[in-house]
Amino acid sequence: MRRGRFAPTPSGKMHLGNARTALIAWLHMRSLNGEFILRMEDIDTERSRQKWAELALLDLRWLGLDWDEGPDIGGRYAPYTQSERLDRYEEGLLKLEAAGALYPCYCSRADILSAASAPHGLPSEGPAYAGTCRHLTAAERAAKALHKTPSLRFALPEGREVRFEDGIAGSQYFAAGSGGDFVVRRADGLHSYQLSVVMDDADMKITDVLRGYDLLDSTPRQILLYEALGFQAPEFLHVPLLNGPDGKRLAKRHGGIAISAFRERGTTPERLVGWLAHVSGLIDRPEAVSATELIHSFDLSSIPREPVVVDVPDL
């Protein structure tokens, strides 16, 4: 059984870009007679709010999307909210530690920036970590631990390049060491996105991860974590983003992009779904259509391979 998911972060109102990704992920699974799972990625407790999580559920249902398992209806692999899954992330860390794949890092952000000697980082992650703490002796670690609580980093396998075929973006190649060793648990105890999403998708038997292109360069790190944890990696599909007229990723600064704003001013869900489908290459004009009506004609090859520049629709 094919299983896909949509996993919003409840740090604000759901907007057009989020809704487009959700719609495409939902159509992908429904067109394959697969199962669609909703997961709430609220692990960053400083930014996440319950009110935004509740609003996301309302927005998605208003758009005509449903799910087979989720935080509000449960399912075989509950819980579906990251803040309720912290024990699983700790189990993952213990497994990685037993495999010798982790080490404590005492570097500050300033230390990392000053040690960066070349732009070999990943665009979404900043400069590559130079490996400063990877080869500290036990005595050196003990001395540093007297003054600072460490984060935990995943040690990239030496010489391991990553290649994979993305279902939308095509063939991908990441050289060995791309981005450097990365944090899986912060010094304040917060588990990283990379670790939590791998544990979640593995536990929930996700076979297809369809998400925004901004997460493409997280994929090699996640593939390495899947391998280190003994899990089978899913298929990955990364959708090019919606950009505003300024060429930058569609965001709050462009104004009027919240799904709730369209609903509150009387826009019908069919009109908004039709617009989302049109800018995604699924229909040839922005006409009113329900999400269900798009299932039978859904074709991944219709999805644009480059970012789509749009104006905020006046619907």
Stretch 242-266: mean pLDDT? 86
Angstrom distance (rounded) from CA 109 to CA 111: 5
Is 67 in the same domain as 117? no
pLDDT tens-digit map of 45-54:
888 999 999 9
Domain boundary among 133, 167, 194: 194
- The domain boundary, picked from 137, 159, 194, lies at 194
What total of structural domains would you count in the chain?
A: 2
Query: Please, which pLDDT band fits residue 119 given cuts at 50, 70 and 90?
Result: very low
- Helix intervals (H) in the chain: 16-31, 50-62, 86-98, 109-115, 138-145, 193-203, 219-229, 259-264, 269-279
Per-chain mean pLDDT for the chain = 93
Q: In this structure, are strands 242-243 and 308-309 parallel, antiparallel, or unpaired? A: parallel
Phi-psi region of 181 (alpha: psi -120 to 50; beta: other; left: phi over 0): beta
Q: Tell me what pLDDT residue 250 has.
A: 82
pLDDT for res 254 = 67
Same domain, 189 and 107: yes
Q: Which residue range is the domain that position 139 belongs to?
A: 100-194
Structure confidence at residue 44 as a pLDDT band (50, 70, 90) = confident
| CATH code, 274 | 3.40.50.620
Give this prediction's pTM. Answer: 0.94
CATH code: domain of residue 151:
3.90.800.10
Query: Among positive and negative, which fits the CA dihedral 137, 139, 143, 145?
Result: positive
Q: Is residue 54 part of a domain?
A: yes
Confidence band, pLDDT 50/70/90 cuts, at residue 103:
very high
Residue 178 belongs to a domain: yes
Determine the distance from the C-alpha atom of residue 211 to the mean position of all C-alpha atoms in its chain, rounded to a whole number.
Answer: 6
Query: For 130-176, what is each residue's pLDDT tens digit?
Result: 899 999 999 999 999 999 999 999 999 999 999 999 999 999 999 99
